Chain A
Amino acid sequence: MAEERKAPATKSGVVKKLQATAAASAYQKQWFAGLLERVKNGEDFGYLNADVPMEILRAMDIPFVVNQWWAAICGAKRMTRKYFGLLRDAGYRDDLCSYCATAFAESLDPDDHNYDEAGKPMGPWGGLPDPTLAITRLTCDCQSKIFELFAMNHGASFYAMENTVPRKVPLNWFEMAPDHWEDLYDKDRLDTAVEELKELIRFLEMKTGKMFDINQLERVMNLINEQESWYKKIRDLIAECHPVPVTVVDTINAVMQAQWQRGTEWAVGHAKGLYEEIKALADKGEAAVPNEKYRLMWIGRGLWHDFAFYQRFEQKYGAVFMWSMYLAMGADAYIRNHVEDDPLRALAARYIGMEDFLHMPPWNNQWFLQQARQNDIDGVVYMIPENCMQAVEGSYFIIKTLEDAGIPVLSFHADPVDPRKWSAETMTGLVEEFIENRVMPVREAKEKEEK
């Protein structure tokens, strides 16, 4: 499950230079205001989980919000504590699926659309307007239950899409995905996924009275290919640069905010702008960390509540977190060429793989290995997710694959969403120890060998 949060202010000089991050933040506010207007005028409004093929709604011009994006907004507005309390009061657990359940918790808030005494809205960004459609996929046992509860509270129509498990798992999915996607999957899985899309389309047509036009989907798919191709160029550029011009602190937000807008002209322009900005930095020889010595890979969801953590090892060790899945997934997982042959099938070939690329062995471990090599990684810090079955991903195999290839891994368990369970001090100590005892010796040995 992909997600996005606003990074707190960081000390990185480079992050301030990236216009793209600020531009994305400004755009999403403007876009949301437009969405509110449309909903106010009586248009249907969809609320989707991140793994739902949003491209269909985009092509049908049905306004929508993605669950994980909205949860991030709620988090940034510091609503989490209040929402945990609302869940508890309503008899729900407050220690379960907190991220995925944020919007459901918000739907229990009687003040969501109210204003405080100072006239300020009490809900995040004035509160979520009532969706008429709530759509999720059955990629875990809890998601559909949470979405149905959310739909009940908003009076929305609830729709769930199934998920199938691959039998065929070619190890080099990242090479096959753009052009050989038909061969990447079992044929019957793709067939079923196309049928699922058709059923979703029919549901949306019946609900909204709008017609789905395949030409519009082709357009949306092409825009996404263009956008993601920019991410591929950015990822490849960063991988080649020694030292890197930007770190994960710079790229995560810039990429993710635009990822939720994929399939629009704006998102393409934004991705292109991001590339140009980073390319200019690279051309100038600008280094995110001037004394770059060690290149670190971050496996796991973003540490939204402590972005500064990624930068704690820069000055002391010259260790730079330069890889996270957010940019690299854009580069490798989304592009589906030959859309014109069958846009629906191309879309099916995108959405059915997304969770598996990240969470299923061997697809995830093989990709992490290939990415570690492409990015000349010296060490991997791997946050093993707790408390979410969907994100359970064969950590043993990930660690084994990387370590067997000579890439040291520091793994630890944490709940990326819950700051109550995070100790910055302990983690800093662990990473420092890791750099000193594992990363440095391996790098030295590598350098000796190269000489």
Chain B
Amino acid sequence: MIVKMGIRECALKSNAFRALYTVYTHRDDTARRWKSEGRKVIGELGCDVPDELIMAGGMLPVRVYADPEKPLVETDKYLEYAFDPVVRAQFEKIVDGTYAELFDALAISNSTDVVIRIFLYLREMHRVEPHKAIPPVEFIDWLFTRNRLHQVRNEHTIALFRKAVEGWAGREITDEEIRAAAKVCNDDRQALREMEKLRSGSEVRISGSEALVIIGSAFFMEREEHARLVREVTRDASEWPVLTGPRVFVTGSDQESTELYDLIEQTGAVVVGEDHNWGDRFFDRDFPMEYTPVRGIVDTYMLREFSSKKAFVSQRVEAIGRWVSRTNAEAVVFYTNRYEEAASWDYPKQKESLEGRGIRTACFAKMQYPVSANEGLSEQIAAFTSAVREVS
């Protein structure tokens, strides 16, 4: 196995880690196997598609991801420049036939503005260019501001989505099936939380890049198997050498690959946590098993830790404080891609509050995609790590 990323030898010696790593780097393999077995695969765009419902329908949920190498032939035709670069690259695969082949349908959640627009565009493409190979699309119109009215509305929204999933499954989905799927998801979240202790506890034995692989592989495989492998990795990792560099927390744009973390960790720092959707936020909140299925889903997805997009500045200031405490971070890296700028409005107040607690911060805004397209970034990160190290 040739590994280019910042993954250590000790990790690669673990059979379980290698299995997760294979899934992470060959993201479509499980979906292909499911298709070849005549089973259904549902794509997810936006981080708030409830896996529980799709799994309850006997289908495999798979996260849409970008291919930074793919020329954006179709995207340039349909999307304006103001779409963030990761979503542009994801869109290419949705409309160029790649995902039409792999997905039976695509579920899009109202997780950020740009994804809402993608839904509207795909719906229009279905209307005016029906010949194009685009999977059928369903939208989940979550409301994330926290009050009673929006909770009630979300219950209605999820009931509608349940119907759509039933349509894809070709049968009714029972409450018992949803509970069973929720139990599997909760178990996986619990396994990840156990893993997290070795990543952000007093002794760090799992690096940020390794953690991204362990977490992100969940988006592309059966969840029971994922939980089993995560537990095995966690057992193995308790023997891995301790990492001692400055403890860094990453906030901002989703990191679909380990590229940014590799850069940070090559400078001797260690990424102990993040609030984006390809990391810790994924397993933040359990499905409350005592709730009815629809209410349980609403609770899990509406009330987990705030996302950078759908939250007010004050909420984000409090959230970053909680994350930093949870992970014992000494420094925070703010990293946002060009055109993915909502979090830029949070940054000055977050910085002020963090620095008030003696936490160092570095801001990388308007970044090019992929990470490697940013000249001088590794030097800037190295300088930041040195500065943090000096203080600590």
Can you list 17 A-B pairs with a CB-CB distance of less than 8 A? A91-B348, A92-B348, A93-B341, A93-B344, A96-B345, A140-B113, A141-B112, A145-B342, A149-B345, A152-B313, A158-B312, A164-B143, A165-B141, A384-B80, A387-B339, A394-B121, A397-B128
Cβ contact within 8 Å between B344 and A392 = no
Is A342 part of the binding interface, using a Cβ–Cβ cutoff of 8 Å?
no
The A/B interface has a contact count, at CB < 8 Å, of: 108
List CB contacts (< 8 Å) of B117-151 with chain A.
Answer: 117, 119-121, 123-124, 127-128, 139, 141, 143, 145, 147, 149-150
Known: A142-B342, A164-B143. A148 touches B314 (CB 8 A): yes
Q: What residues of chain A lie closer than 8 Å to B79, measured between beta carbons?
A: 396
Cβ contact within 8 Å between B313 and A396 = no
Is B78 part of the binding interface, using a Cβ–Cβ cutoff of 8 Å?
yes
- Identify 18 new A-B residue pairs, CB closer than 8 A, beyond the known A91-B351, A192-B149, A384-B80: A90-B348, A91-B348, A97-B345, A145-B312, A145-B345, A145-B346, A146-B345, A148-B314, A149-B313, A149-B349, A160-B312, A162-B143, A165-B141, A361-B123, A392-B82, A392-B117, A396-B79, A396-B121
List CB contacts (< 8 Å) of A11-57 with chain B.
Answer: none
Q: What residues of chain B lie closer than 8 Å to A160, measured between beta carbons?
A: 145, 312
B interface footprint on A90-113 (CB within 8 Å = 1, 0 otherwise): 111100110000000000000000
Cβ contact within 8 Å between B153 and A192 = yes
Is A144 part of the binding interface, using a Cβ–Cβ cutoff of 8 Å?
yes
Is B116 part of the binding interface, using a Cβ–Cβ cutoff of 8 Å?
yes
Q: Which residue of A lies closest to B78 (CB)?
A: A396
Known: A141-B309, A385-B82, A388-B82. A92 touches B121 (CB 8 A): no
Q: What residues of chain B lie closer than 8 Å to A169, measured between beta carbons?
A: 123
Is A427 part of the binding interface, using a Cβ–Cβ cutoff of 8 Å?
no
Picked from A93, A148, A396, the residue with its CB within 8 Å of the CB of B77 is: A396
Whole-angstrom distance between the Cβ of A251 and the nearest chain B Cβ: 27
Is B369 part of the binding interface, using a Cβ–Cβ cutoff of 8 Å?
no
| Chain B interface size range | 35 or more
Is B156 part of the binding interface, using a Cβ–Cβ cutoff of 8 Å?
yes
The docked-state distance in angstroms from the alpha carbon of A96 to that of B348 is 14
Q: Is the interface of A mostly helix, strand, loop or mixed?
A: loop
Is B347 part of the binding interface, using a Cβ–Cβ cutoff of 8 Å?
yes
The docked-state distance in angstroms from the alpha carbon of A91 to that of B354 is 14
The docked-state distance in angstroms from the alpha carbon of A169 to that of B126 is 13
Whole-angstrom distance between the Cβ of B246 and the nearest chain A Cβ: 23
A interface footprint on B142-179 (CB within 8 Å = 1, 0 otherwise): 01010101100100100000000000000000000000
The docked-state distance in angstroms from the alpha carbon of A142 to that of B341 is 8
The docked-state distance in angstroms from the alpha carbon of A243 to that of B278 is 59
Q: What residues of chain B lie closer than 8 Å to A413, measured between beta carbons?
A: 80-81
Is A389 part of the binding interface, using a Cβ–Cβ cutoff of 8 Å?
yes
Interface residues of A (CB under 8 A from B): 90-93, 96-97, 138, 140-142, 144-146, 148-149, 152, 158, 160, 162, 164-165, 167, 169, 188, 192, 195-196, 199, 360-362, 384-390, 392, 394-397, 400-401, 413
The docked-state distance in angstroms from the alpha carbon of A360 to that of B347 is 30
Whole-angstrom distance between the Cβ of B316 and the nearest chain A Cβ: 8
Q: What residues of chain A lie closer than 8 Å to B80, measured between beta carbons?
A: 384-386, 392, 395, 413
Cβ contact within 8 Å between B348 and A162 = no
